[in-house]
Structure 1
Amino acid sequence: MFKKIISTSLSAAFAASLIGSASAADISAAPAMRDMTTMEIVSDMGIGINLGNTFESSGDWIEQWGDGTPNAYETAWGSPTVTEDLIKGYAAEGFDSLRIPVAWSNMMSKDGSYTISDKYMARVKQVTDWALDADLYVIVNLHWDGGWLEKLPTDQDNVMKKYNAIWTQVSDEFKDYGDKLIFESQNEELGWNDVWNQWSGSTNGKAESFGYVNEVNQSFVDIVRNSGGNNAQRHLLISGYNTSIDLTCDPLFKMPADPANRCAVSVHYYTPSTFTILTEDADWGKSAYTWGSDASLQS
């Protein structure tokens, strides 16, 4: 039986092969990129936990009522301030990877340049450093972030300008980090129901919506690869279509062209939902705190 872990939302289901790179090195000593395939990296990542309800918190009310510090956002959704001891505790409990979801719009300039606050960037970097020092893999992503990506079909130029500005800054800030740091292109937001409703039974707009997904992911890879340092060989997580495993396996979903051939695809799998989602009984299901038969544990 598996013990229920509610806070996790991490999956790297498929991995591409990779072209060999530089010599191996200890991440804590020198951040060289090891000669490991992306499949080997994914396998080595082991069990992951999500640092949820911290840096991905968002909302105008936080800016209005907070004190203007990164901590105001970090604690806005009820989580405590992240400490190094907390990160060490994850490692001590057997976790191998930490995913840090981030709403980069927090403390961002409003002049159209989409400049991320130095203080906010430094705080995310501090927590990343703590996790790497604890010998954890770290995934840094762009999360829901207030939902501005939903406007892409109607305001593509501005949305892509913001998306590209975010990843340009993040890539530059972390370009000299070793391969235990992984970037993830997006959370679950790549897919537009206003363009194609997957539940409608119609294919109208389907190719267009998948095209937007593929465009965003390709832009992500291009920015990271051209940003210098270790980013030329960094392992990347590519967000599937709404991170649905079924939709991501659709032929219309395309993995981005990557000169380094170091990409895995990220999907979220919530089956059975009574185990993976419910924390108490609901009208559509009874909460399950264990799951798995002997057969499923062996599969």
Structure 2
Amino acid sequence: MFGASVTSNDAGLSVPDWPTSFGYLVKVPHLVGGVRFEWSHRMVAGSLVILTLAIAAWTFFVERRSWLRKLALAALGTVVAQAILGGMTVLYLQPPAVSTAHAAVAQTFFCIAVCIAIFTGRKWVEEVPQVEHDTRRPSLFTLTLLSIFVLYVQLILGGMFRHRGMSWWPHVVHAALVAFVLTWTAIRALSVFSKIEAVRKPAIMMLSLLITQLCLGFAAFLTRVAWGKDSVQPELPMVVSTVAHVAVGALLLATTVVLAIQVWRHVPVAFAERVPGTERTPQIA
């Protein structure tokens, strides 16, 4: 949200240097105009790097699961890359490709952090998976992966538009595909595997966030494109709708990742060899 507020307020170059701020690492500058957004964003980012480093160190010394230690290192590498891309946006005067990559990597880090939170939670460790094999084609797991993919593409298209590297219409047109794929995924999850709570809850949340996101996207389009295209500076309705749109988009992507994880655990694809005479024709839904 801090990063979105920087872009929405056109404050990305309010602090012209990096990694220092007006020549200082820790001195608080005069928080006026866009400086308060950009400097606050940098402080939050710095705190996040330190927190991620602590999590990676804790995981390395305490966690027995080697794959989870690697995931924590991936989180650390991602947040460092995110910081470097943030610096490049300032030093190279906000090139659209770099600024969009900065936004995309931020979403990637958020999803990795959510995964770590799930995998280290007591419920994940102690819960016995409620396994129900999926015989349908495409499988629910395939649909969740497709949902993540189309959402990430949508994120990139939105970032390119926000950072003036592309027109608005690819982002709007692709939103229809996102809505279709996510609705298909949610309906499949809720109609076939609703008895599995770990699948049902994120599916409902994903569908709710999708509806909210479409409404916020429409509001952002009205305030930024239809009504605000001739504005000299960002107006409050434009800023609020855009920041909310970005924030809910991040939650939607993370929720879809959670759904994919829970489907992978509770609804494995039926690849095992079947006993003769018990074959079922894959169903299309």
Larger Rg: 2
TM-score range, shorter chain: under 0.3
TM-score (norm 1): 0.26
Q: What TM-score, normalized to structure 2?
A: 0.27
Higher strand share: 1
Q: Which has the higher helix share?
A: 2
